[in-house]
Chains A and B, each alone.
Chain A
Amino acid sequence: AQSVTQLGSHVSVSEGALVLLRCNYSSSVPPYLFWYVQYPNQGLQLLLKYTSAATLVKGINGFEAEFKKSETSFHLTKPSAHMSDAAEYFCAVSGSAGNMLTFGGGTRLMVKP
């Protein structure tokens, strides 16, 4: 069984500030971990994924995430927020190829000017 918890349903940062979105997972098998972003009226777009090749994963738009097995975490960060980063962010876990994704509850990121 797999589950994902995203701490903070809403996060607000100022433009230029650090973005930190938290994700903790539980999985009975080595997990594959994903971050997706959803802009208004659009589908889910992949930001990055953990492939087990490296614990620090770089994604699109300057985002990165670090897999920490000891903490069962996969937090998403970006050094400097832009207004265009305002969206909903979803962390997800799967167990193998072609397998279902289990999503966290999502975090809505707001960026203040």
Chain B
Amino acid sequence: DGGITQSPKYLFRKEGQNVTLSCEQNLNHDAMYWYRQDPGQGLRLIYYSQIVNDFQKGDIAEGYSVSREKKESFPLTVTSAQKNPTAFYLCASSPIGRLYEQYFGPGTRLTVT
């Protein structure tokens, strides 16, 4: 089955530690995105990438970093510089030719204490 996988589903970390969230897709989509979702809020864009080895900051990139070494993979690192990292993180992808549509993974809930 084609789709987007995010792992793990739940992640717990201590303050001051960096943590990397995985996002893999086998849809052959060119564009990939990371969003943050907080209770009662819409989705806020962290980073996006339209081609391998290239990515752009979204609205709330501070304290986060990404890489895009392969078309299928777009990992997100939450660094210790992110002041309030506890949130639900969603990865999405879009096919070339329909970049306006987004297909989402199941999300990772990160809790930092």
A and B: interacting chains: no
Chain A residues engaging chain B, CB cutoff 8 angstroms:
none
